[in-house]
Chains A and B, each alone.
Chain A
């Protein structure tokens, strides 16, 4: 592990850590039960995680949960925004996840065609 690089990251990131300790602006929750994983939920989760990294979305948190109880529509994703109703997306894949990041998480417009 490159400690020099880690040190740089630490210095750069410490500034907005305080910000994140309050509630994140957006929370993305991916259903990662057995059936979700079998349906490809890991790729969806990975895409969200990497988009957050790439776009430096420091006010967005990506996390995972167990079975969502709607196995026929997995992979499933919930997007929680402050003061807004939760949006649930079904039958997700990596490409759809990228669109949700751009249109919903960044620009604030839920992608109604993927919502269930």
Chain B
């Protein structure tokens, strides 16, 4: 079981990295009117055909196949569906993958959001070769970071340089 939503994000984004994504977009948004939280993760990785797309959502199939994608997708799907939300996954071979999950924030079993800040930080600095477009807008706090822009400003200094790590940590603390 994942402890919180931020751990789910970490896990799903790792699938995107494994799928060879160059660019991964993560958006966490809460609609103040409906109290629905939505999580969208979009990548430009290798994608999958329709048969595989069905299989990766099935926890019972997955354990028998030794495939690359773990149990993380059925876990997220389970969390979304048991807390009054929804789960949708779209993909096509060569065309990337999008996962969108929603959660009802009023549901008593909804796990906490957890440390989104830590998930964002470790994603960006432990995969300097991947670009992340990170968006967060929950309860009046909002944040946007596109590492493509950041890297342009850094002009050759890698995002996992100690100085940049410290800068990003502080930046995330201020905005999340």
A residues contacting B by CB (< 8 A) are 1-3, 5-7, 9-10, 12-14, 16-17, 20, 30, 32-35, 37-38, 42-43, 45-46, 49-50, 52-58, 61-64, 66-67
Would you list the 9 A-B pairs with minimal beta carbon distance, nearest first? A53-B165, A34-B70, A53-B166, A34-B72, A13-B157, A56-B162, A9-B163, A46-B118, A53-B162
Q: Which of A2, A10, A42, A57 contacts B119 (CB 8 A)?
A: A42
| Alpha-carbon distance between A55 and B1 when the two chains are bound, in angstroms | 34
Q: Do A63 and B126 touch across chains, with their CB atoms under 8 A apart?
A: yes
Kindly report which residue of chain A lies nearest to residue B75, judged by CB atoms.
A34
Kindly report which residue of chain B lies nearest to residue A46, judged by CB atoms.
B118
Measured between beta carbons, the chain B residues less than 8 angstroms from A54 are 162, 166
Task: Tell me the smallest distance from the CB of A72 to a CB of chain B, in Å.
Answer: 16
Q: Do A67 and B70 touch across chains, with their CB atoms under 8 A apart?
A: yes
B residues contacting A by CB (< 8 A) are 1-3, 6-7, 10-11, 14, 18, 68, 70-72, 75, 115, 118-119, 121-122, 125-127, 145, 149-150, 153-158, 160-167, 169, 171
Kindly report which residue of chain B lies nearest to residue A42, judged by CB atoms.
B10
Measured between beta carbons, the chain A residues less than 8 angstroms from B121 are 46, 49-50
Q: Which of B125, B145, B163 contacts A13 (CB 8 A)?
A: B163
Q: Do B163 and A37 touch across chains, with their CB atoms under 8 A apart?
A: no
Measured between beta carbons, the chain A residues less than 8 angstroms from B1 are 38
Q: Do B158 and A37 touch across chains, with their CB atoms under 8 A apart?
A: no
